[in-house]
Amino acid sequence: MQEQMVDIESEKKEILKRYRALLRAVKPGSPDDDRKQIRTAFNMALDAHKDMRRKSGEPYIFHPLAVAQIVAEDIGLGSTAVVAALLHDVVEDTHVTLEDIEKIFGKKVASIVDGLTKISGVFEQGSSQQAENFRKMLLTLSDDVRVILIKLSDRLNNMRTLDFMEREKQLKIASETLYLYAPLAHRLGLYAFKTELEDLALKYTEPEVYKMIDSKLQETSKERARFIKEFSDPLVDELKEQELKFEIRGRPKSIHSIWNKMRKQGVSFEEIYDLFAVRIIIDADVAEEKAACWQAYSVVTDFYHPNPDRLRDWISTPKANGYESLHTTVMGPSGKWVEVQIRSRRMDEVAEKGYAAHWKYKDSATAAETALDEWVNKIRELLQNPDSNALDFIDEFKLNLFSDEIFVFTPTGDLKKLPTGSTALDFAFDIHTDIGAHCIGAKVNHRLVPLSHKLKSGDQVEILTSSKQKPKEDWLTYVVTARAKAKIKAALKEDKRRIAEDGKEILERKFRHLKIEFNQTNINELLLYYRLPSSQELFFRIAKEIIDVGDLKEFANNKGHIKATAQPQPEKPEQSLEELVRSVRGKSDMLVIGDTMERFDYKLSPCCNPIPGDDVFGFITINEGIKIHRVNCPNAIHLMSNYAYRIVKAKWTSKAELAFLAGIKIIGIDNVGVINKITKVISSDLKVNMRSVNFDSKDGMFEGTIMLFVNDTTHLTKLMSKLKNISGITTVNRIDTN
Ligand code: MN
C-alpha cells in the first residue's frame, strides 16, 4: 500500500499530457501514420496496467508511454512501432493475450509484441535463459528490426529509472546493458543510445568513478570552450571564405569512454588529451557531399598538422553499421592533439539516429544502406547455424559486434570486410566453405604466406587450395570470424564421427575374435574400464590407435571383476551444479566473508583480488566452491549477465586481522633513491608485507608493480596517498591482477 495518498486527478492529467506529447512526436505523413490505432493501443495499455505501479510509485503506464516516446521521437519510427511499444509489456504482465492484440491490431503488431515478450520467470531458471531470450529477440530481427529498436528503447527507459531498484538488480541490469545492449546499439549505428546506455551503466557499476569524471568535466567546461574557440576560429573564417555551408561543434567524449581510456592506459583524468572531438557538419547535396568533406579536410590540415596514422575515411568505405565520416587527428594550439570529424548533414543524422535515418534517405540508395543490409544478412546467417547453443551464440554474436573491421580485396578486386585480426583462413571461409576447408595457403599481395597470416586493410588475397586438404584442430586457434569457427567445428565433428565408424568396425572384429558379444552392456564395461564418456570417444580412440586393441585381452580376463561395479553414468556437471546452487541459496541469502562461522568454502578470486571494503559478490563454481569477485572485476559483467542464478550476495564482516593481496602500479620519474623511498614507506612506515616488487625504467621514467598484503580498502587508500606524496611519483593506481 502507498503510504502517501496518491492524487488520482493530477495523475490522470499527467498521463494525458504525456500521451499528447507522444502524438506530437509521431511524424505526420510517415508511411504508417495511423493515430486511431495509437489511441486504441494507449487505451488498451492504460486499462491493462491500471492497477500496477512502478518501483518508483509512479503509474505503470508512464513506462510504455516513455518507451513509445523514445521510439517515435529519438528513432523516428511510425505508428506500428509506437503501437507495439505501448503494448510491449501487456502480454507478459497482464491478462491481455497475443490473440487479443492480433485481433485488434493485426499480425504485424502481434509478431513484434511477441518478439518483445520475455520468457516468463527468466531469472529463476537455468543458466542460459537470459541468453535464450536474447536469441529469441534477435531471431525476430530477420523479420522486423523494429523489435530490436523497441527493446533498446525499453532498456534505455529502464536504465534511466534504475534508481528505484535494489542494488543487486541495478548491478545485474547495468551489467547486461554493458554486455549486450550497448554493443547492439553501437552495431545498429545508434550512437546517442550507445553513449547514454554506457554512461548510465557506469553510473551504477562504478558510482564513484562516474561522479568523479562527471564533476571534473563540469569543472573544465569553460577551459574547454575557450580552447575549442581558439581552435575553430581560423577554420570558420576560411570555410566561409570558400563558401561552404557548415556548422562546427566541440563535444566532450562520453564519461564511459573517458573511463575506458583511463583504465586501459593507466592514466589520470588530467592526462587524457583528447577529451573532446571537434565536428564539422556540412550542408551539401548528396552528389557533392564527398567532395565538400575533402575540401573541409584540406582547410583543416592547412592550419593544423595532421597525424598521418590517424586518418580514417569512412566516406569511401562506410562501416558495416552504415557510419560515414572523415576522421583525422591534428596538432592543435599549445601542442594538443585534437580529433576532427568531418561529415555531411545526412551522414550526421545517420550516425545519430542510425537505422531510422536510413529509411529517411532511402530514395538516395546510398552505399550506407547496402552496408546495413549486409549486416542484417550476417546476423541472419549466424542465427541459422543450428549447432550453436544460446551461450555460444552470444559469444559469437559479440565477436561480430566488437571487432573493428579491415577491408581486403579478392584477386578480381572485390572488396571484403573482415574483423581486425582476421587471417588468410578467415578470408578463405568468407569466400566459400569449400575454399576454406581445402585451403593450404595464400598469396597476399603476390607473396606466399601461411594460413595463419594476419591480414591488413588493403591487402589483396589469393587463396591456394588442394583437394587433399581438410580442416584441422589447430585451425581453431587462429581464425577469428564466427563463420570460420563454426564451419571448422562442424567439419571436425563430422570427421571424428567417420573415424569412430571405422573404430567401431575394428572393435567389432576384435570382440568376435575374443568371443565377447558386441552389445551395449559390454561396450559400457569397456567405457568404464577406460574411463571414457561415450562410445563415440571409445571408437575414435581405437581407430586412432590411442587405445591398443591388443590390450583388450586383459580386459577380457578381468571382465568378471568389472561387472560388479556400477554402469557408467552420463553425468552432466550441470546437474550437480544445480544442486550446489540450490543448497547454497537455500541456506543463506547473504554470504558473509571473513566470519569465522562461515558455512561455505569460498576463495577470493585471483582475477581481481578483492579486499575488505570492496563491493563484492559470490559466484558459485563447479569445483572450487564460491569465488568472491569485486563488482568492478573485468569478468563481472560476463558472469552477472550470463549466470545470474549462480550469483550470491556477499559482504564483509567487520574486519578480522586478516591480510589480503592487492596490487598497485606506480609511475614516476626515475631519480636517485626513489625506489628506496617507496619500499621504505611500504615496509617500515605502514608495516605492510610485500609479496612481489617489479620495477622497470626507461628513458628517465620508471614503472613499478607491487603486490602487497593489506587489511582493507582504507588501509590501501592510505598507503596509496602516502606513495603519491613521494616527490617524483606521478601516478599510483590499484591494478586488478598480478
Ligand atoms: Mn518494459
The dihedral region occupied by 76, where left means phi > 0, alpha psi between -120 and 50, and beta the remainder, is: left
pLDDT score of 596: 40
What 3-state DSSP class applies to 622? coil
* Residue list, CB under 5 A from ion ligand 1: 89, 154
- Distance between CA atoms of residues 304 and 289, nearest Å: 22
Select from 311, 330, 194 the least CA-distant residue to 256.
194
489 CA from centroid of ligand 1 (Å): 38
pLDDT score of 130: 57
Residues 6+ apart with CB under 8 A from 508: 518
pLDDT score of 357: 58
* Helix, strand, coil share (%) of the chain residues, nearest 5: 55, 15, 30
- Distance between CA atoms of residues 557 and 711, nearest Å: 61
The dihedral region occupied by 703, where left means phi > 0, alpha psi between -120 and 50, and beta the remainder, is: beta
Select from 221, 219, 180, 216 the least CA-distant residue to 198.
180
- Copy the grid coordinates of residue 389: 547453443
**Identity at 320, one-letter amino acid code:** A
Bridge partners, residue 107, by sequence: none
CB 317: neighbour CB atoms within 10 A? Answer: 15
- Distance between CA atoms of residues 66 and 59, nearest Å: 12
- Distance between CA atoms of residues 368 and 350, nearest Å: 9
Bridge partners, residue 731, by sequence: 667
Dihedral of CA atoms 212, 213, 214, 218 in degrees, nearest 10, equals 100
33 CA from centroid of ligand 1 (Å): 23
**Identity at 506, one-letter amino acid code:** I
- Listed in sequence order, the DSSP H helices in 322-404 are 345-353, 355-360, 367-384, 390-402
90 CA from centroid of ligand 1 (Å): 9
Domain ranges of the chain: 2-160, 217-369, 490-565, 577-646, 660-735
- Copy the grid coordinates of residue 420: 581486425
- Distance between CA atoms of residues 68 and 77, nearest Å: 9
CA distances 729 to 56, 456, 674, 704, Å, are 47, 39, 8, 11
Residue with grid cell 625504467, as numbered in its chain: 697
- Copy the grid coordinates of residue 320: 558495416
CB 75: neighbour CB atoms within 10 A? Answer: 24
109 CA from centroid of ligand 1 (Å): 16
CA angle 232–233–237, rounded 5-degree value: 115
CA distances 284 to 189, 246, 249, 278, 316, Å, are 22, 9, 17, 19, 16
Identify the CATH assignment for 2-160 out of 1.10.150.120, 3.30.710.10, 3.40.50.300, 1.10.3210.10. Answer: 1.10.3210.10
How far is Cα of residue 519 from the mean position of the Cα atoms in its chain?
A: 49
- Distance between CA atoms of residues 489 and 99, nearest Å: 41
pLDDT score of 137: 58
Give the helix/strand (H/E) hosting 691.
strand 689-698
88 CA from centroid of ligand 1 (Å): 6
481 CA from centroid of ligand 1 (Å): 34
Residue with grid cell 566516406, as numbered in its chain: 315
- Distance between CA atoms of residues 420 and 316, nearest Å: 19
Give the helix/strand (H/E) hosting 652.
strand 647-652
CA angle 544–546–548, rounded 5-degree value: 105
The dihedral region occupied by 149, where left means phi > 0, alpha psi between -120 and 50, and beta the remainder, is: alpha
240 CA from centroid of ligand 1 (Å): 48
Select from 391, 421, 424, 397 the least CA-distant residue to 410.
424
157 CA from centroid of ligand 1 (Å): 8
Whole-structure pTM value: 0.58
66 CA from centroid of ligand 1 (Å): 10
Bridge partners, residue 241, by sequence: none
156 CA from centroid of ligand 1 (Å): 10
152 CA from centroid of ligand 1 (Å): 10
- Distance between CA atoms of residues 653 and 726, nearest Å: 33
154 CA from centroid of ligand 1 (Å): 5
Residues of the chain with pLDDT under 50: 1-3, 119-128, 363-365, 368, 386, 388, 402, 561-575, 595-598, 655-656, 738
Instruction: Check if 217-369 and 660-735 are the same fold.
Output: no
- Distance between CA atoms of residues 263 and 283, nearest Å: 38
Report the interhelical angle of 390-402 vs 367-384 (nearest 10°): 160
Residues 6+ apart with CB under 8 A from 727: none
pLDDT score of 264: 81
- Write out the catalytic residue numbers: 92-93
63 CA from centroid of ligand 1 (Å): 7
**Identity at 162, one-letter amino acid code:** L
pLDDT score of 79: 87
103 CA from centroid of ligand 1 (Å): 22
User: Which long-range contacts does 20-23 make (Cβ < 8 Å, 24+ apart)?
Assistant: 21/69, 22/65, 22/68, 22/69, 22/72, 22/82
260 CA from centroid of ligand 1 (Å): 29
What 3-state DSSP class applies to 604? strand
pLDDT score of 600: 61
The answer to whether the beta carbons of residues 30 and 24 sit under 8 Å apart is no
The overall average pLDDT reported for the chain is 79
Residue with grid cell 592487492, as numbered in its chain: 662
- Report the residue count for the chain: 738
Under CATH, what is the fold of the domain 217-369? Beta Polymerase; domain 2 (3.30.460)
> Rg of the chain over CA atoms, in angstroms?
31
- Distance between CA atoms of residues 585 and 589, nearest Å: 6
Task: Tell me which CATH homologous superfamily contains domain 660-735.
Answer: ACT domain (3.30.70.260)
